[in-house]
Structure 1
Amino acid sequence: MLLWINGPFGGGKTQSAHEIQRRLPGSVVCDPEHVGFGLHRMMPPSLRADFQDLPAWRQGVQEVLDLVLTEHDGVVLAPMTVVEPAYFREIIGRLRERGHEVRHFALLADRATVLRRLRERGLGHAVRFIAGKDAPVRRESFAVSKLDLCLERLRDQEFAEHLWTDRLTIPQVADTIAASAGLTLAPNTDSALRGRLRRAWTGVKHIRFD
């Protein structure tokens, strides 16, 4: 089974995927973003536009997920924002056509909630600590520029199942996704402090400077 966790940038996709992976033995996180970063590194900076527009990215993601779903005996988690219906059908539609069970979840929240999460997440704090408080955070700027489009598109029925997360913690989001998919997670035994530290570390591991 593939759990594709969609949502706006800063909506909690990666944190939720890693929370599920932590509490579901045998599950793996396959992040489609890595395919895009690899393609970007092969290109001069002047050509690095949105990698989702590259057919190579969509084909590569579909082929890698197909391989992992075929060969790996466990749940596969893909945290990735995709709001173009044609791209969504190209990747997820093909996986379903090949017989894979794909459960899709769109994590939604009010605009103000997402903006607060973007300000608070580890990326912005880490970059400013390293480069100075006035350093521009390019990924955060990109996330904000795409926020309204993401929230509008992901409300469409095509992107269901919708999960509103304004009043949910990351463990609660993980529990809700798992229950909807018929999966049982191990109990969350983290204290509030340990949970915050764990999520901060997950955020630090996903910092990108290119």
Structure 2
Amino acid sequence: MIVWLNGTHGAGKTTTGALVRQLIPDSRVFDAEKVGETLMDVTPGLPETDNFQHWPPWRPLVVETARRVIDYTGGTLVMPMTVLVERYWHEISTGLAQHALPVRHFVLHADQATLRARIRGDTVLGPDSPFRLRYLEPYAEAARTWLHREAEVIDTTHLTPAQAARQVAQAVRNREVRPPRANPPL
């Protein structure tokens, strides 16, 4: 199984993903960003882009890598990765489905003010990361138009990463399918 943690920068995907791994037996974290980093190392470089997800090889390589890891290890892959382009999400989720890999897609959501404060207060990547702030509006647009319909939304605005991780792990353990719900405020 794949537990995909989506959402924009500052929502808590990486921290929550590490905690989810501790709560779900036989699970591992796979950061699909590493696939993008590998593509960035191709020499001479691939065509210029502002986001490696725009390179067509990235999506099938994420699918193939996840499939191969699960074939090798079994268990659950926890994948904290922002995907804000609907077509890209459908390529990935369809590819995983073609390999009979069930996906639980969660969006870790927070309101814009909370996201900005978290990004500005980040002591690991540094405050005011322009790269991360640049994705706040595309996230809000994706949330309004498709993303929150495609996933189980966990509003992390007032949650610690541990609380969000417990909600994800409990939902996975229950294997319940939640009906779509109204989008939380952006």
TM-score, scaled relative to structure 1 = 0.75
Distance 1:83 1:55 in 2: 15
Distance 1:51 1:179 in 2: 32
1:166 to 157, 169, 175: 157
Q: Identity of counterpart residues, as a percentage?
A: 33
Q: Does the alignment pair 1:142 with 2:136?
A: no
Residue in 1 that maps onto 2:32? 32
Change (3 A) 1:98 1:150: same
Alignment of 1:1-210 (within 5 A): 1-43=1-43, 44=45, 47-125=48-126, 140-155=129-144, 156=146, 157-182=148-173
Distance 1:107 1:148 in 2: 15
Alignment deviations for residues 128-162 of structure 1 (CA, whole Å, 9 cap, x no partner):
8xxxxxxxx6xx20111111111221343443211
5+ residue gaps in structure 1? 129-136, 184-210
SS of match in other structure, 2:4: strand
Number of equivalences: 171
Residue in 2 that maps onto 1:134? none
Distance 2:18 2:101 in 1: 21
Question: Is 2:24–2:169's contact at 8 Å kept on the other side of the alignment?
Answer: no
Alignment deviations for residues 12-33 of structure 1 (CA, whole Å, 9 cap, x no partner):
0011101112333421111000
SS of match in other structure, 1:11: coil
SS of match in other structure, 2:104: strand
SS of match in other structure, 1:83: coil
SS of match in other structure, 1:92: helix
SS of match in other structure, 2:106: strand
**Post-superposition shift, 1:48?**
4.9
92-101 or 105-114, which deviates more: 92-101
1:166 corresponds to which letter in structure 2? T
**Post-superposition shift, 1:96?**
1.5
2:63 corresponds to which letter in structure 1? Q
5+ residue gaps in structure 2? 175-186
SS of match in other structure, 2:57: helix
Q: For the aligned residues, what is the CA RMSD?
A: 2.0
TM-score, scaled relative to structure 2 = 0.84
Distance 1:104 1:19 in 2: 16
Change (3 A) 1:102 1:51: same
**Post-superposition shift, 1:9?**
1.2
144-153 or 75-84, which deviates more: 144-153
Question: Is 2:23–2:169's contact at 8 Å kept on the other side of the alignment?
Answer: no
